[in-house]
Structure 1
Amino acid sequence: MKRNSVVGLGLCLAMLGLAADGGEHELFEPTWESLAKANTSPEWFEDAKLGIYCHWGVYSVPQNFTEWYPRFMFQDGHEVQDFHKQNYGDPAEFPYHKFVPMFTAEKFDAAEWAEVYKSSGARFGGLVAEHHDGFSMWDSRWTPWNAKAMGPKRDVLGELAAELRKRDMKVIATFHHARQFQRNQGAESVQDPADSFDSHYIYDKRYATASAEPVLQKLYGNMPEDEWNQMWLGKLEEVIENYQPDVIYFDSWLNLVPEEFRQRFCAAYYNHAARNNKEVVIVYKQDDLPADVALLDIEKGGRIEIDLKKWMTDDTVSFGSWSYTTDLKIKPAAMVVHSLVDIVSKNGNMLLNISPHPDGSIPQEQKDILRQLGDWLKVYGEAIFDTRPWTVHGFGPTKPDFGPHGGMSTINYYTPEDYRFTMSKDGKAVYVIVLGRPEPGGKLFLWSCAPHRYPLPGAVERVVELSSGRDVEWESLDTGSYLHYPDMDYNETANVFKIILK
Structure 2
Amino acid sequence: MKKLIFIIPVLFVLISQAQYEHEVTGYEWPEDEKVLQKLEEWQDLKFGLLMHWGSYSQWGIVESWSICPEDYGWCERKKGSNPDDYFTYKKEYENLKLSFNPVNFNPDKWAEAASDAGMKYVVFTTKHHDGFCMFDSKYTDYKITDEESPFSTNPRANVAKEIFDAFRAKDMWAGAYFSKPDWNHENYWDPKFPPLDRNVNYDPELYPEKWEKYVDFTHNQIMELMTDYGDIDILWLDGGWVAKKPAPMLEEAYAHKAEGVSSGFIKNRVVNQDIRMDELAAKAREKQPGLIVVDRAVRGPNQNYLTPENRVPETQLPYPWESCIIAGGGWSWVPNPEFMTPKQAIHMLVDIVAKGGNLLYNIGPGPDGTWPQGAYELLAAMGAWIKVNGEAIYSTRAIEPFKTDNICLTQKKDTKEVYAIYLEQGQSEGLTSSEPLANGLPESFTVKGIFAADNAKLSMLGARGNLKWENTGEGVKIFIPRKIRNNLPCDLAWAVKISEVK
Determine whether 1:44 maps to 2:41: yes
Amino acid at match of 1:58: S
In the TM superposition, residue 155 of structure 1 has moved relative to its aligned partner by 0.6
Whole-Å separation in 1 of the counterparts to 2:363 and 2:398: 27
Amino acid at match of 1:473: K
Partner of 1:475: 470
In the TM superposition, residue 327 of structure 1 has moved relative to its aligned partner by 4.3
Determine whether 1:299 maps to 2:309: yes
Partner of 1:83: 79
From 355, 360, 365, the equivalent of 1:351 is 360
Partner of 1:446: 447
In the TM superposition, residue 252 of structure 1 has moved relative to its aligned partner by 3.4
Whole-Å separation in 1 of the counterparts to 2:182 and 2:240: 6
Amino acid at match of 1:471: N
Q: Aligned ranges for residues 76-475 of structure 1 at < 5 Å? A: 80-85=76-81, 91-92=87-88, 94-150=91-147, 151=149, 152-153=151-152, 154-178=157-181, 180=183, 189=194, 196-198=197-199, 224-243=210-229, 244-256=231-243, 258-259=273-274, 261-274=276-289, 279-286=290-297, 288-290=298-300, 294-318=304-328, 320-396=329-405, 418-436=406-424, 439-449=440-450, 455=451, 458-475=453-470
In structure 2, relative to structure 1, the CA distance for the partners of 1:88 and 1:102 (3 Å cut) is farther
Contact 1:306 1:392 in 2 (8 A): no
In the TM superposition, residue 35 of structure 1 has moved relative to its aligned partner by 6.1
In the TM superposition, residue 89 of structure 1 has moved relative to its aligned partner by 9.2
Partner of 1:401: none
In the TM superposition, residue 301 of structure 1 has moved relative to its aligned partner by 2.1
Contact 2:68 2:198 in 1 (8 A): no
Whole-Å separation in 2 of the counterparts to 1:309 and 1:35: 11
Counterpart of 2:276 in 1: which secondary structure? helix
In the TM superposition, residue 131 of structure 1 has moved relative to its aligned partner by 0.5
Determine whether 1:60 maps to 2:52: no
In the TM superposition, residue 127 of structure 1 has moved relative to its aligned partner by 1.2
Amino acid at match of 2:117: S
In structure 2, relative to structure 1, the CA distance for the partners of 1:479 and 1:313 (3 Å cut) is closer
Whole-Å separation in 1 of the counterparts to 2:82 and 2:336: 18
In the TM superposition, residue 189 of structure 1 has moved relative to its aligned partner by 4.6
Whole-Å separation in 2 of the counterparts to 1:251 and 1:55: 12
With the length of structure 1 as denominator, give the TM-score of the two structures.
0.74
In the TM superposition, residue 344 of structure 1 has moved relative to its aligned partner by 1.0
In the TM superposition, residue 70 of structure 1 has moved relative to its aligned partner by 4.2
Whole-Å separation in 2 of the counterparts to 1:476 and 1:33: 40
Whole-Å separation in 2 of the counterparts to 1:433 and 1:43: 23
Q: For residues 141-187 of structure 1, what are the alpha-carbon distances to aligned partners after superposition, in whole Å with 9 as ceiling and x for unaligned? A: 11111222253221111111111111111111111232536767588
Whole-Å separation in 1 of the counterparts to 2:75 and 2:125: 25
In structure 2, relative to structure 1, the CA distance for the partners of 1:444 and 1:380 (3 Å cut) is same
In the TM superposition, residue 239 of structure 1 has moved relative to its aligned partner by 0.3
In the TM superposition, residue 45 of structure 1 has moved relative to its aligned partner by 0.7
In structure 2, relative to structure 1, the CA distance for the partners of 1:316 and 1:462 (3 Å cut) is same
In the TM superposition, residue 352 of structure 1 has moved relative to its aligned partner by 0.9
Contact 1:322 1:353 in 2 (8 A): yes
With the length of structure 2 as denominator, give the TM-score of the two structures.
0.74
Counterpart of 1:142 in 2: which secondary structure? coil
Whole-Å separation in 1 of the counterparts to 2:134 and 2:305: 24
Whole-Å separation in 2 of the counterparts to 1:87 and 1:493: 45
Q: For residues 61-101 of structure 1, what are the alpha-carbon distances to aligned partners after superposition, in whole Å with 9 as ceiling and x for unaligned? A: 1113x114542699899994343236999852752221102
Determine whether 1:496 maps to 2:495: yes
Partner of 2:428: none
Aligned residues: 412
Amino acid at match of 2:381: Q
In the TM superposition, residue 268 of structure 1 has moved relative to its aligned partner by 1.5
Whole-Å separation in 1 of the counterparts to 2:325 and 2:466: 36
| Identity within the alignment, % | 22
Whole-Å separation in 1 of the counterparts to 2:320 and 2:76: 38
Return 5+ residue gaps in structure 1 as ranges.
Answer: 1-31, 204-209, 211-222, 397-417, 450-454
Contact 2:66 2:76 in 1 (8 A): no
Partner of 1:415: none
